[in-house]
Chains A and B, each alone.
Chain A
């Protein structure tokens, strides 16, 4: 592969002149070595050779921050400080260019607390922000309303779950995929638990806050307990392997 890329680089095969660095970088990022997402079969020797190949890289604090905002439209900030880049950046494997000059590439237990804190803190404001928009404006919930219940709108809910798997996790799943089933089961379990607990109609309560400082027109009423149920699904996905790796 590298020899082919080198030959194209020398020849200027992209039509932008020989030895064009940008064309070289395009070739590399379009290669299977950079984009491979799976293998059909792999030997133990290939496991060593392909150790650094393909997808599955832990996102840096900066990359994860950009991904979160790009996909959800929500900025995880503490005041004017970015939570991922500035508050938790070093803990999450970033560098300070002094004593720490290399990024962490493996998730540690302590780093994982940043992921769970993120999921717990942003999932409600993201969801509240989404349902404050019209369906056509939404990034995450274009197929449901807060009146869409598991008892009367299962198809719409599954469609939206399918959309969330695609949008948040990069998974293109059939509507009857086992992962869709599992996520729907979780949604139903959360929803039923909230009904059984007689949860009130406000999104915010003594035991559950929703930090909406960075949100415009958040929905803060949840009489059907669906906003909090979708919040749980967003939480479930934001702490997922496929959200924090690319």
Chain B
């Protein structure tokens, strides 16, 4: 095997070129049973003033929330929430497992920029998602190490993501030498002949890789094919767990497939996403409907994981492009607002039932002290940014010191996010 390393230019002046990052050797990996990192995007910019950073209306100011004219902000444990959609059931079930991070300044109103900033920790191009970093650091050889259904998918070349779509299609593909016709299956090729073909193909690929005249892109492509060929049989572990019936709806089905990928020992992280949050018109009805789907999805994930006996392995990061304005436009919608929130959920987390970060009554971000987490308007205080969120999840996953993470530094101040004795009051 001609194992080659390759570099990836970050593409921004002033940044040093990256050191080689090995993509992984061509060998079957041990099944993975560590934490499963699920990143869920509320695509389009979510209204956190109607979710985890609830706002009542202020006399003399424009109406922030119509619901606040007739209902009050609710609270369970240390976590306040808005009494709309399915929020009550959601927060009451998960508050002890949840850290809410409010007052995150995404510094943009652009969907693409906000998505990139939130999920990579950097406003500029070129940084991978946390899922890619986790995949590279924890399970680069796993054939479904990183699964992607929707949202930010930049890997910066340090990981490859798989898309799990129609489960019937996947099952047929994994059994690629057989075709299904109803309940019957038919062989396409004799096993011994297929074995000869793959043997000769592996040898040919090795000969191609042995050339000293290859372009970097060719090396990378051949390496990817070699790794794919070496790990394809592992996908049978995944196919064996596919049920005969699946959850209705694209979002639950994507989650179900990701959970099965994890159960098969082949997956470290996934990126899921729900649309419908970019409510520039008819905000309340449309947005709260999407919000209910979002909380239902998280509930479904934990219900399924509990049934499978691995709910304690699930680590969810929930976020969005940015927030929505603390007032309605002429069409009854809410436009983009650079201040948003995020959330970590992990069953039995010692850091649960806490809120870090804050906004004022008009949803402007407030500065907090990175050590005490208290409001701090002095020079020692800072406004939370996506880099702090991404640094936190890297630390939570213990990949903050990994080669991949260090290759894409966030330069984020240390925030004592996970100290259970502290929160922003």
Contact = CB atoms under 8 A, between A and B. Distances in A.
A109 B162 contact: yes
Given A88-B173, A111-B162, A211-B179, A241 B225 contact: yes
Interface string A79-90: 000000001101
A109 B217 contact: no
B213 A39 contact: yes
Interface string B252-281: 000000000000000000000101000000
Interface string A30-67: 00000011111010110111111111111000000000
A193 B196 contact: yes
A99 interface: yes
A48 B215 contact: no
4 A-B pairs with the lowest CB-CB distances in the bound complex, closest first:
A99-B150, A109-B143, A112-B228, A56-B218
Interface residues of A, number: 69
Contacts of A242: 208
Nearest to B192: A193
B172 A117 contact: yes
Contacts of A193: 190, 192-193, 196
Given A55-B218, A104-B161, A98 B275 contact: yes
B59 interface: no
B350 interface: no
B235 A110 contact: yes
Contact of B190 (A121, A207, A239): A207
Contacts of A50: 215-216
Nearest to B177: A120
A124 to B, nearest CB: 7
Given A47-B216, A186-B196, A209 B186 contact: yes
Contacts of B197: 186, 232, 235-236, 239
B188 A241 contact: no
A88 B164 CA distance: 11
Contacts of A235: 189, 197
19 contacts: A39-B213, A48-B9, A48-B17, A51-B7, A51-B217, A91-B165, A93-B163, A100-B148, A107-B225, A108-B228, A109-B234, A111-B162, A113-B232, A182-B203, A182-B204, A182-B207, A209-B186, A241-B222, A242-B208
Given A38-B215, A107-B225, A208 B190 contact: yes
B9 A49 contact: yes
Contacts of B187: 207-209
Interface string B1-13: 0000011110000
Interface string B132-152: 000000000001100011110
Contacts of B148: 100
Contacts of B190: 193, 197, 207-208
Interface in B213-255: 213-218, 220-222, 224-225, 227-229, 231-232, 234-235
Given A56-B221, A107-B160, A114-B173, A51 B6 contact: yes
Given A110-B235, A197-B190, A207-B190, 7 more contacts: A47-B216, A50-B216, A56-B215, A99-B149, A110-B162, A113-B235, A235-B197
A86 B192 CA distance: 31
Given A209-B186, A236-B201, A189 B176 contact: no
Interface in B1-33: 6-9, 17-18
Interface residues of B, number: 68
A155 to B, nearest CB: 21
Interface centre among A58, A100, A109 (most CB of B within 10 A): A109
B217 A56 contact: yes
Contact of B176 (A45, A49, A116, A232): A116
Interface centre among A55, A120, A189, A193 (most CB of B within 10 A): A120
Contacts of A52: 217
Contact of A107 (B177, B216, B228): B228
A116 B225 CA distance: 12
A209 to B, nearest CB: 5
A185 to B, nearest CB: 8
B59 to A, nearest CB: 41
B174 interface: yes
Nearest to A207: B187
